[in-house]
C-alpha cells in the first residue's frame, strides 16, 4: 500500500537509481574527453626544456597520449608544465599566466628546481619551489628527468582526472 513512509523510501531509491544510471556515466564521459586531449603551455625556463623537446620528438612521442603542443594562445590550454627554475623576476609573470588559463586547469612541476629549489638552494634570486605561488598537481623530480619519467607524470595526471568528480 502506498503510505507516507513507503513514498519516502521509493523516492530515495529512485534518486539512487538515477544517480547510478546517469550521473556516473556522464562523469566518466566528460573526464575521458578531458584527459586524452590535454594541451600544454610550456614555460620553457632552463635546462629541463631540452628534455621537453626530446619528448615531443619522434622517439618518445607524447602525442600518443593526446598532449599536442599546439602553439596557440594560453586561453585554450589546460596544463601548465613548469620546466625548470622560476626566479623572483619571473614569478609575477608565472602567476599571470596561471590566471589567464580557463578552468579546469592542472599544473605539473618538472625538475628538482621547480619542486623545491633543487641545486640552487642558497641562491639569492631563485624561488624555492613553484608551489609557493601556484597550486601543483604532480611533482616530478630529477635533474633533468628522463623523457620516460615525463610520460609517467602525464599518465599519473590522467589517472587523477579519471577519478575526479565534475561539479
Q: Which is nearer to other proteins, 97 or 133 (CB)?
A: 97
If one counts every other C-beta atom within 10 angstroms of the C-beta of residue 61, the result is 13
Rule CB under 8 A: choose which of 115, 144, 153, 154 binds other proteins: 144
> Toward other proteins, which CB reaches closer, 39 or 65?
39
Shorter beta-carbon distance to other proteins: residue 66 or 160:
66
User: Which residues from 110-129 bind other proteins, rule CB under 8 A?
Assistant: 119-126
What kind and span of H or E run contains 54?
helix 49-55
88-117 exposure pattern, b = at least 16 Cβ within 10 A, e = fewer:
eeeeeebeebbeebeeebbbbbbbbbbbeb
Site for other proteins (CB under 8 A): which residue of 3, 33, 59, 75? 59
- Nearer to other proteins (CB atom), residue 57 or residue 135: 57
Check binding of 53 to other proteins (CB under 8 A). Answer: yes
Cis-peptide into 104, omega within 30 deg? yes
Of 37 and 119, nearer to other proteins (C-beta) is 119
DSSP string across 92-104: HHHHHHHHHSPSS
Q: Considering only 11-19, 25-33, 49-57, 159-167, which stretch makes contact with other proteins by CB under 8 A?
A: 49-57
CA dist., res. 51 & res. 15, Å (int): 50
51 in contact with other proteins (CB under 8 A): yes
Q: How far is the CB of 152 from other proteins (least distance, A)?
A: 16
CA-based angle 116:36:60, to the nearest 5?
65
CA distances 84 to 58, 103, 120, 139, 152, Å, are: 23, 24, 11, 12, 18
Residues of this chain that bind other proteins (CB under 8 A) = 41-47, 49-51, 53-54, 56-59, 71, 85, 87-90, 93, 97, 119-126, 143-144, 146
Amino acid at each position: 500500500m502506498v503510505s507516507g513512509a513507503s513514498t519516502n523510501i521509493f523516492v530515495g531509491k529512485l534518486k539512487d537509481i538515477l544517480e547510478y544510471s546517469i550521473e556516473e556515466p556522464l562523469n566518466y564521459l566528460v573526464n575521458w574527453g578531458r584527459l586524452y586531449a590535454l594541451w600544454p603551455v610550456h614555460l620553457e625556463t632552463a635546462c629541463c626544456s631540452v628534455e621537453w623537446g626530446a619528448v615531443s620528438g619522434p622517439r618518445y612521442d607524447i602525442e600518443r597520449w593526446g598532449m599536442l603542443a599546439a602553439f596557440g594562445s594560453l586561453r585554450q590550454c589546460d596544463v601548465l608544465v613548469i620546466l625548470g627554475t622560476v626566479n623572483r623576476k619571473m614569478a609575477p609573470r608565472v602567476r599571470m599566466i596561471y590566471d589567464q588559463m580557463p578552468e579546469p586547469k592542472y599544473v605539473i612541476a618538472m625538475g628538482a628546481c621547480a619542486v623545491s629549489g633543487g641545486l640552487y638552494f642558497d641562491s639569492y634570486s631563485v624561488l624555492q619551489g613553484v608551489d609557493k605561488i601556484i597550486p601543483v598537481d604532480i611533482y616530478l623530480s630529477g635533474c633533468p628527468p628522463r623523457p620516460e619519467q615525463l610520460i609517467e607524470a602525464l599518465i599519473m595526471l590522467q589517472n587523477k582526472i579519471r577519478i575526479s568528480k565534475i561539479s
